[in-house]
Amino acid sequence: MQGSGRFDASLSDDGRYRMLIEAITDYAIYMLDSNGIVSSWNPGARRFKGYEASEIVGEHFSRFYTEADRAAGLPQRALETAAHEGKFENEGWRIRKDGTRFWAYVVIDPIRDGSGNVVGYAKITRDLTERRLAEEQLRRSEEQFKRLIQGVTDYAIYMLTPEGLVSSWNAGAERIKGYEASEIIGQHFSRFYIEQDQRAGAPQAALETAARDGRFEKEGWRQRKDGSKFMASVVIDPIRADDGTLLGFAKITRDITERRKSERALQETREALFQSQKMDAIGQLTGGVAHDFNNLLMAVLGSLELLRKRLPDDPKTLRLVDNAMHAAQRGAGLTQRMLAFARRQELNPVALDVSELVRGMTDLLHSSLGATAQIRMEFASGLNRILADPNQLELAILNLAVNARDAMPKGGLIVITAKEETIAGAPDLKDGVYVCLSVTDNGCGMDEATRRRALEPFFTTKGIGKGTGLGLSMVHGMIQQSGGKFMLRSSKGAGTTAELWLPVADGPDHVQNEAASRPSNGKEGPLLILAVDDDALVLLNTAAMLEDLGHTVLEAVSGKDALDIIRRDDTIDLVITDQAMPHMTGSDLAAAIRAEKPHLPIILATGFAELPPGADEGLPKLSKPFLQQQLADVIAKTVAV
């Protein structure tokens, strides 16, 4: 029968069972007597326990147990359990012949005789060391992962059931959201959403999106246990079984409130920088345009004035000339506002009392604003004097008051106040003491977009023909040129407050009058005057005015030409020079003349305050465009003894 592939039919059942057990090598299958003595041993037992049958048969099976288990009586307890309960099943460490350990799965069944008495035990052991090691590795990995998740405090990392109930909670979630695990596990995660989002169904929509698209990611406001809000960055990922069944969701939340604040602050800084650069560019353009326009107006206004004196006494003709002169003067006023915005107007700052100045304007304010606007003044006591041009400051206050009235078409209250503060570390203001003069109305106010553009030249919300859009920009430019700051505070429907922050005067009660003259030649009567201007139209106009006043005029189109003439002619009594000339400015020319002829009087004619600091000290100035009488007055003051 050998080699036939069939069992020998003559074998008994016991023989077949023995052959089966002897063929098994993955399980240790052996018999114990009623006292636990090994009475049989199969190849599987020999393979992973290391004992030959001759070495172990007749020995007690407890030698396979660890010393700790033997001391605890586990071998005897295993037999007793099998005898009483019909089976003992357990896993644990066992010892091989060579002393190494392996993880064993053990089953012990009692063997009974016909009377039911236990005569022995059948013991089956399987080596599960590899599975045990894999499980241990997995357990350690899971433990490490759990410690990792629990150790993260900057992120809230937790699990949700498919219905959105919280099923796990890490330390970051507790820190960010304020709930302890015992308070939140089993609760629906929608409680983290603000009420508005809850009503809109945002929590359920987030889970549906994650389940459908494989991911949900969004930023939005969430609320903590104490009710406070924070800006959160949220990611939700679905967790699925191998067959695709949705098991729940993994949710990660990060508190980005501070980041959002930083981003907003950075954006505001960028916008402020852009606005500043834009305003500077507009200011440069405006100042240049106003300067050139001033020169044109100078020629027009001066020529019209001289022409009027020479026309016949015809009322219709003179009326037309007067109308043209009035229009030119209005144009000059417009350029002054443009120069004020560009911070290039001529200022004559003095130390003045704000409360006195404003109270002195009471009648002017009432007559300008009409009966619909009520005015209340509130000034702190003991205010220091400020350093400002009183005429320009009065014009600024009047401008702000008119704007306040226009913002209250049905009437209202305008409050003008002044207080003193010490400023340190403020943007756009040097450290020091300032007086804040404010004009407040209870009118319609401005939205944020309008407030941001309010200082731009030619921007206005008034109707066509009701404003140039230069009022606030003029105030802004004048205050900055005075070393202060202009601020607008307004919101829609809550009125507007305009604040003028001006530095306190720390010197004498006045500054040197820029019209103060240099030592003069004391000459009276007609003078020999050198007129210097690079603009031919202005030079012609100035020379004509001077000649009409009875003076003799020499003309130069540049500083170099002027110096050449002065060096050739020692009889020149006075120099009137433009400031803004190429190659050599008027102040440069004045310095050169002083070096050679220190007693020769010089007048600077300028369309805007573009002189470098100290360059104009002691020189009288003549602001363009000027009339003939203004020219005559400054000449008389300059050459007077």
Instruction: Tell me the average confidence (pLDDT) per consecutive run of 10 residues in the chain, 641 residues long.
Output: 46 56 75 92 88 92 93 94 93 92 92 90 89 76 63 81 92 90 93 94 94 93 93 93 91 89 80 65 58 71 79 79 77 61 58 87 80 86 85 80 84 90 82 90 81 60 47 71 83 86 69 41 74 89 89 93 92 90 88 90 74 59 82 86 38
Distance from C-alpha of 339 to C-alpha of 359, rounded to nearest angstrom: 28
What stretch(es) of the chain map to CATH 3.30.565.10? Answer: 350-503
Distance from C-alpha of 238 to C-alpha of 71, rounded to nearest angstrom: 50
Q: What is the pLDDT of residue 489?
A: 85
Report CA dihedral (300, 306, 312, 316) to the nearest 10 degrees: 30
Q: What is the pLDDT of residue 513?
A: 41
What stretch(es) of the chain map to CATH 3.30.450.20? Answer: 13-130, 152-255
Length of the chain: 641
Distance from C-alpha of 601 to C-alpha of 612, rounded to nearest angstrom: 20
Q: What is the pLDDT of residue 428?
A: 76
CATH code of the region 13-130: 3.30.450.20
Q: What is the pLDDT of residue 230?
A: 93
Read off the amino acid at residue 393.
L
Q: Which pair of tokens denotes residue 94?
A: 């066992």
Using DSSP bridges, classify how beta strands 246-255 and 229-240 pair: parallel, antiparallel or unpaired: antiparallel
Whether domain 152-255 has CATH 3.30.450.20: yes
What is the layout of strands, in order, in the sheet containing 88-95?
27-33, 118-127, 101-112, 88-95
Strand partners, 418: 379, 437
**H helices present in 311-429, as ranges:** 315-341, 354-359, 362-369, 390-406
Q: What is the pLDDT of residue 81?
A: 94
CATH code of the region 350-503: 3.30.565.10
pTM assigned to the model:
0.40
Strand partners, 253: 156, 234
Give the CA angle between residues 425, 429, 430 to the nearest 5°.
Answer: 75
Q: Which CATH superfamily is domain 528-639 in?
A: Response regulator (3.40.50.2300)
